[in-house]
């Protein structure tokens, strides 16, 4: 019984996913324009998008690279402040300065990621977690107090940086989500991505196969920082006001919770858990004081009963699912599948 | 003379906060030594201790001595409970899961106390009025001296416990090699439980001393204090008891010196900068033993 397993060729896979993603954007936009999704829910959607980028970005360092950085909010802060300062100072029209701000924020966070990563990644395990925590806190303290050193107002410290044009909207948030997911996905499927995975599996074995540990660790760490910076820049345009205290240790932990619950190393897990953990508390406003308690209990329970996270390392692939359906039931080709606009 | 007295006062301040950091750092260090876990919930045990002290004095109007006892006892029980409920089921699972569980416990304690006691700071009544001591024209705060004394006594007792008693020997054995210790007939569960109890009792003492210096209880008071004590433990060499003491005093002195030269807003930054420099230059800390990696 030799069966030929029909495969969907690679370009078609991308076309399917792109079409679904575009369809998702169009449906979302038209629902917002027709008023089915109210302004409040649009805001929730934007927050979900930002959190998805944050979670997916931390997932590079935690899930794929196998390290435990505890200072992710620091990179987000760098991106947010870079974009915000550029947008308020450049004098350009907001529609021009926002995309530039996004790119600048991401690049700046990436640069900081490389600068922190080179010394920090010499350490392993717990010590790496501690040193990134230290760097994250230092970024926060610097943002809080840099004005007194510079002698002029740059970040406005505890008084908050105000008046950032609120340019973030549904379309550009989810375009960024799509780009981030696509870039991370393609990176992880490339030679470099496999090298990063091998570092996670066994550093010594990877090194003996000729993989430059430092290079790939810093690469993974910097990629993680770049997307965190992008999310931060979106966050700046979403809130319109920035305060260093919102990028503390707790924010880093919140992002980590999302990654861990979704499953370290699973992109679909990250996307799902970021969506659920952002949407549920927003929709259950009445129970908001129990939100954090629920969070922490969930974290402990998941760690005790399923330490690899809800999704483990499983990654959903629409094309793979379609292939499966084609090969099992050739008669019923047009089965409907919901969601899953990303992940090739 | 006035410069001298300012310096002296800052040094006393530094030693006061340093001894609190040292007591808390001891808890971190002992727990890390025995199960290689960074117990992020340790700082929050201090917060619970402060709330117990506040409850028993302001709400139940108990005598301060009983309040102190209640706080220390409460912290001890809480530490053991956390170990039994959250960490014991994870023994043998990857370190990262254990670390994340510890973060979860810390989160849980903070948010529970925020729900129960509210986010507002609660003022803790003074335990005892301690008169200041004058050395010539220099005033030394009595609280600071008592804090130093209490910390010193606790550390001497701890050193005695770890070095001279049977339980201390068991603790050192488990820290050295858990499996071998088990083969020698040491009850691992009891020993780990006992370590958590001692560490948390020290955190309870730390809570009382902290509250006599800064008489307030807030749900998040433990996180910064915990982080700094943790930096102290890393600085001294995590897993080493004398290291934690040295680290605690060093961090306390560094903080008060930074404040003394008028840069108090950079205090937290300096603490974390010290952490980073130590980790880069000597990751195992001042007294830590080097880690060996087996292929």
Measure in Å the smallest separation between the Cα of B127 and chain A Cα atoms: 32
Mean pLDDT by 10 residues, chain B (295 residues): 74 89 90 85 92 89 88 94 90 80 89 87 81 73 85 90 91 88 91 93 92 86 86 85 89 88 80 86 77 52
Helix (H, G, I), strand (E, B) or coil at A1: coil
A150 touches chain B (CB under 8 A): no
pLDDT at res. A343: 45
B window 252-271, beta carbon within 8 A of A: 265-266, 268-269
Model confidence over A48-58: pLDDT tens digits?
999 999 999 99
Model confidence over B55-76: pLDDT tens digits?
998 888 888 889 999 999 999 9
Q: Dig out the tokens for A186 from the structure.
A: 């393609």
From chain A, the residues in CB contact with B234 under 8 A are: 127, 130
B38 and A292 within 8 Å at the Cβ level: the answer is no
- Residue of A123, A129, A300 with shortest CB distance to B101: A300
pLDDT at res. A335: 43
From chain A, the residues in CB contact with B90 under 8 A are: 303-304, 307
A123 touches chain B (CB under 8 A): yes
Instruction: Please state the domain count of chain B.
Output: 1
Domain assignment present for B38? yes
Domain assignment present for B245? no
Measure in Å the smallest separation between the Cα of B61 and chain A Cα atoms: 30
pLDDT at res. B1: 52
Domain assignment present for B285? no
Mean pLDDT of A102-120: 93
pLDDT at A339 over 60: no
Q: What is the ipTM of this complex?
A: 0.79
Mean pLDDT of A61-84: 91
Host domain of residue B70 = 19-221
B103 and A299 within 8 Å at the Cβ level: the answer is yes
B window 8-67, beta carbon within 8 A of A: 36, 38
> Which band of pLDDT confidence, cut at 50, 70 and 90, is reported for residue A332?
very low
Q: What is the pTM of this model?
A: 0.83
pLDDT at res. B37: 84
pLDDT at A200 over 70: yes
Residue B80 to residues B31, B75, B190, Cα–Cα distance (Å): 12, 9, 10
pLDDT at res. B196: 93
A window 238-277, beta carbon within 8 A of B: 249-250, 253, 256-257, 260, 264
Domain assignment present for B159? yes
């Amino acid at each position: 019984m030799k069966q030929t397993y029909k495969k969907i060729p690679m370009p078609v896979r991308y076309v399917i996913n792109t079409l679904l993603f575009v369809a998702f954007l169009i449906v979302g936009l038209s629902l917002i324009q027709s008023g089915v999704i109210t302004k409040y829910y649009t805001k929730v959607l934007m927050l979900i998008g930002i959190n998805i980028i944050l979670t997916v970005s931390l997932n590079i360092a935690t899930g794929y690279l196998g390290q435990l950085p505890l200072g992710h909010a620091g990179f987000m802060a760098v991106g947010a402040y870079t974009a915000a300062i550029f947008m308020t100072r450049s004098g350009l029209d907001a529609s021009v300065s926002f995309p530039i701000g996004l790119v600048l924020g991401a690049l700046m966070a990436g640069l900081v990621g490389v600068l922190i990563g080179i010394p920090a990644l010499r350490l392993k395990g717990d010590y790496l977690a501690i040193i990134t925590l230290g760097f994250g806190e230092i970024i926060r303290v610097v943002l809080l107090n840099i004005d007194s050193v510079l002698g002029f107002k740059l970040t406005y410290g505890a008084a908050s940086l105000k008046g950032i044009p609120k340019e973030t909207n549904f379309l550009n948030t989810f375009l960024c989500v799509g780009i981030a997911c696509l870039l991370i996905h393609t990176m992880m499927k490339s030679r470099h991505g496999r090298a990063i995975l091998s570092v996670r599996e066994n550093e010594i074995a990877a090194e003996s196969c000729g993989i430059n540990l430092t290079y790939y660790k810093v690469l993974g760490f910097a990629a993680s920082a770049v997307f965190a910076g992008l999310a931060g820049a979106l966050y700046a345009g979403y809130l319109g006001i920035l305060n260093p205290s919102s990028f503390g240790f707790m924010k880093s932990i919140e992002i980590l919770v999302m990654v861990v619950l979704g499953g370290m190393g699973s992109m679909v897990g990250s996307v799902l858990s970021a969506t659920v953990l952002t949407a549920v508390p927003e929709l259950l406003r009445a129970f908001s004081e129990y939100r954090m308690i629920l969070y922490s209990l969930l974290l402990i329970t998941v760690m005790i009963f399923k330490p690899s996270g809800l999704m483990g390392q499983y990654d959903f692939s629409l094309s793979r699912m379609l292939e499966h359906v084609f090969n099992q039931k050739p008669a019923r080709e047009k089965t409907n599948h919901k969601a899953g606009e990303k992940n090739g | 003379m006035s410069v001298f007295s300012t310096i002296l006062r800052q040094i006393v301040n530094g030693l006061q906060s340093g001894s609190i950091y040292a007591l808390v750092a001891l808890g971190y260090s002992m727990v890390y030594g025995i199960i290689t876990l960074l117990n992020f919930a340790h700082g929050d045990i201090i917060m619970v201790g402060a709330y117990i002290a506040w409850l028993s004095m302001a709400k139940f109007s108990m005598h301060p001595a009983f309040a102190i006892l209640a706080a220390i006892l409460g912290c001890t029980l809480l530490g053991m409970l956390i170990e039994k409920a959250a960490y014991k089921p994870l023994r043998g699972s990857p370190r990262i899961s254990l670390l994340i569980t510890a973060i979860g416990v810390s989160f849980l304690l903070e948010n529970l106390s925020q729900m129960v006691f509210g986010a507002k700071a609660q003022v803790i009544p003074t335990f005892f009025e301690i008169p200041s001591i004058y050395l010539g024209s220099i005033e030394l705060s009595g609280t600071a001296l008592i804090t130093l004394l209490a910390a010193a006594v606790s550390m001497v007792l701890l050193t005695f416990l770890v070095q001279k008693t049977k339980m201390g020997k068991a603790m050192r054995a488990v820290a050295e090699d858990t499996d071998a210790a088990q083969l020698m007939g040491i009850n691992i569960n009891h020993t780990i439980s006992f370590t958590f109890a001692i560490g948390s009792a020290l955190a309870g003492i730390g809570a009382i001393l902290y509250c006599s210096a800064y008489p307030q209880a807030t749900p998040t008071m433990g996180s910064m204090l915990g982080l700094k004590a943790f930096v102290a433990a890393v600085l001294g060499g995590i897993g080493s008891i004398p290291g934690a003491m040295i680290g605690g005093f060093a961090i306390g002195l560094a903080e008060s010196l930074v404040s003394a030269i008028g840069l108090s807003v950079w205090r937290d930054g300096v603490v974390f900068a010290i952490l980073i420099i130590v980790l880069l230059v000597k990751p195992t800390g001042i007294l830590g033993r080097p880690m060996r990696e087996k292929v």
